[in-house]
Structure 1
Amino acid sequence: MDKKEFIQIRRFILKLGKMLHKYGSPSFRLEAYLTEIATYLGVHASFISTPTSLSIVLWSDRHEDEYNHAARMQPGELDMNSLSLTDELANQLLSGEISLVDADKRLNEIDAMPSPYSKGLTAVAFSMSTSAFAMLMGAGWPEIICSGILGFIVYVWTLWAMRSKRVNLMLEPVASFSVGLAACAINFYLDIGFNIWLIILSSLIILVPGLSLTMGLAELSSRNLVSGTARIMDATMQLFKLYFGAFLGISLGYQLFGQQELVVAETLPFWVNWLGVFMLSIGLVAIFRTRMKHVPWAIASTFIAYAASTFSSAYLENGLGAFVGAFSLGVFANLFSRIVNAPSTIVAMHGLIVLVPGSKTYIGLNSFISGQDFIKADHIGQETFMILMSLVAGLIFANVVMPTRKAL
Structure 2
Amino acid sequence: MGGKHPAPSCDELLSFMAEYGRSYIASGGPTSRLEEALAGLGLKLDVPTDVFATPTGIFVSCHDQTGANRTTLSRIKDSGINLGKLCWLEGIFEDVMTGKLSVQHADKILRSRHVQRSPYKLWQMVMASFLSGFALSVTGFSLFWPALASGFISMATWWVSGPGLRSRVTSSIFRDFMGAVVTLGLASVFQLWMAAPFEALSIGGLVILVPGLTLTTAIAELADQNLVSGTAKLMQAVLTLLALGLAYMLFQDLSEALHLAAAPSAGPRPQALAVSAFGMMVSAACWSVIFRVPPRSLPWATLTGMLGWFILKMFASSQYLAAASFLAALAVGFVSLAFSTRYKVPSQVFSVPGIIAMLPGMLALTSLRSFAAGNQDHGLELGFRVAATAGSIVFGLFTARIPFAFKPRIKLFSAFRARH
Q: Fold conserved (TM > 0.5)?
A: yes
Within 5 Å, which residues of 2 pair with 1:114-263?
Answer: 114-134=117-137, 137=140, 140-157=143-160, 158-165=162-169, 170-190=174-194, 192=195, 194-197=196-199, 199-253=201-255, 258-263=260-265
Match of 1:13 among 17, 21, 24: 17
Match of 1:47 among 51, 57, 63: 51
| Distance in 2 (alpha carbons) for counterparts of 1:257 and 1:267 | 34
1:143-188: per-residue Cα shift (whole Å, max 9, x none)?
4322111112213313221221278562122221122122122112
The aligned amino acid for 1:400 is: I
Within 5 Å, which residues of 2 pair with 1:14-93?
Answer: 14-60=18-64, 64-93=67-96
Contact 1:323/1:390 (<8 A) preserved = yes
| Corresponding pairs, count | 401
1:227-271: per-residue Cα shift (whole Å, max 9, x none)?
111110111001110121133235435656821342426543332
| Distance in 2 (alpha carbons) for counterparts of 1:377 and 1:365 | 7
The aligned amino acid for 2:383 is: G
> Cα 1:404–1:155, aligned 2, differ >3 Å: closer, same or farther?
farther
> Cα 1:37–1:131, aligned 2, differ >3 Å: closer, same or farther?
farther
The aligned amino acid for 2:31 is: S
Match of 1:398 among 397, 400, 418: 400
1:276-311: per-residue Cα shift (whole Å, max 9, x none)?
211112212221111112112211110121122222
Contact 1:19/1:111 (<8 A) preserved = no
**1:330 counterpart = 2:321:** no
Tell me: higher relative CO, structure 1 or 2? Use CA pairs within 8 A at least 6 residues apart: 1
| Distance in 1 (alpha carbons) for counterparts of 2:38 and 2:240 | 29
Contact 1:24/1:77 (<8 A) preserved = yes
Moved more, 218-227 or 10-19: 10-19
| Distance in 2 (alpha carbons) for counterparts of 1:137 and 1:255 | 32
CA positional deviation for 1:37: 2.6
| Distance in 2 (alpha carbons) for counterparts of 1:405 and 1:26 | 22
Query: Structure 2 length normalisation: TM-score?
Result: 0.86
> Cα 1:100–1:226, aligned 2, differ >3 Å: closer, same or farther?
closer
Runs of 4+ in 1 over 6 A off after TM superposition: none
Match of 1:320 among 309, 317, 323: 323
Aligned to 2:411: none
CA positional deviation for 1:3: 8.4
| Distance in 2 (alpha carbons) for counterparts of 1:331 and 1:246 | 38
> Cα 1:39–1:304, aligned 2, differ >3 Å: closer, same or farther?
farther
What's the C-alpha RMSD, in Å, of the aligned pairs?
3.0
Contact 2:371/2:379 (<8 A) preserved = no
| Distance in 1 (alpha carbons) for counterparts of 2:59 and 2:247 | 35
Aligned to 2:97: 94
Structure 2 unaligned runs (5+)?
A: 409-420
Contact 1:130/1:204 (<8 A) preserved = no
Moved more, 194-203 or 286-295: 194-203
| Distance in 2 (alpha carbons) for counterparts of 1:16 and 1:345 | 18
Match of 1:273 among 270, 273, 276: 276
SS at match of 1:342: coil
Contact 1:18/1:54 (<8 A) preserved = yes
| Distance in 2 (alpha carbons) for counterparts of 1:171 and 1:184 | 20
SS at match of 2:405: coil
Contact 1:177/1:250 (<8 A) preserved = no
| Distance in 2 (alpha carbons) for counterparts of 1:262 and 1:395 | 38
| Distance in 2 (alpha carbons) for counterparts of 1:401 and 1:141 | 45
Contact 1:80/1:290 (<8 A) preserved = yes
Contact 1:185/1:257 (<8 A) preserved = no
The aligned amino acid for 2:47 is: V
| Distance in 1 (alpha carbons) for counterparts of 2:140 and 2:70 | 52
> Cα 1:402–1:134, aligned 2, differ >3 Å: closer, same or farther?
farther
CA positional deviation for 1:210: 0.6
| Distance in 2 (alpha carbons) for counterparts of 1:232 and 1:200 | 25
Contact 2:14/2:61 (<8 A) preserved = no
**1:354 counterpart = 2:320:** no
Query: Structure 1 length normalisation: TM-score?
Result: 0.88
| Distance in 2 (alpha carbons) for counterparts of 1:250 and 1:271 | 37
| Distance in 1 (alpha carbons) for counterparts of 2:379 and 2:320 | 14
